Amino acid sequence: MIARYRVKIPSPLRSYTIGADEVIVTLPELSKQAAPPLRAILAALESSFPGIRFRMVDEQGGLRPHVAIFVGPTAVRDLDTPVAPQTDIMIVAALSGG
């Protein structure tokens, strides 16, 4: 089976998704008990939209400070967080300036 995830893309990253404000990411569903980690979903997003992951994840593999990711209604920072199939993911990029 295929697990689908709707990923909402913030304005600063839409140049990578050709302007799309949300995209569908699909991954093979290995089992009902084993949800893939958030990092696998971001890797699948990167394979469809090269360069987008670097804007969210730093060289050490952690989320950049100006990025928040919501898995369903919960904000997460751990990329090993399991994500159940059909869960919506929202990427939020903080604005800065003055």
Digit-coded pLDDT (tens) for 15-43? 999 999 999 999 987 766 788 999 999 99
Q: d(Cα 52, Cα 43) in Å, to the nearest integer?
A: 10
pTM for the predicted model, two decimal places: 0.89
Question: In angstroms, what CA-CA distances link 37 with 14, 19, 21, 66, 94?
Answer: 23, 26, 22, 21, 23
The top-level CATH class assigned to 2-93 is alpha beta
Digit-coded pLDDT (tens) for 33-73? 788 999 999 999 999 999 999 999 999 999 999 999 999 99
Could you tell me the two tokens for 13? 């990253």
The whole-number pLDDT of residue 4 equals 92
Digit-coded pLDDT (tens) for 1-11? 788 999 999 99
Using DSSP, state whether 16 is helix, strand or coil.
coil
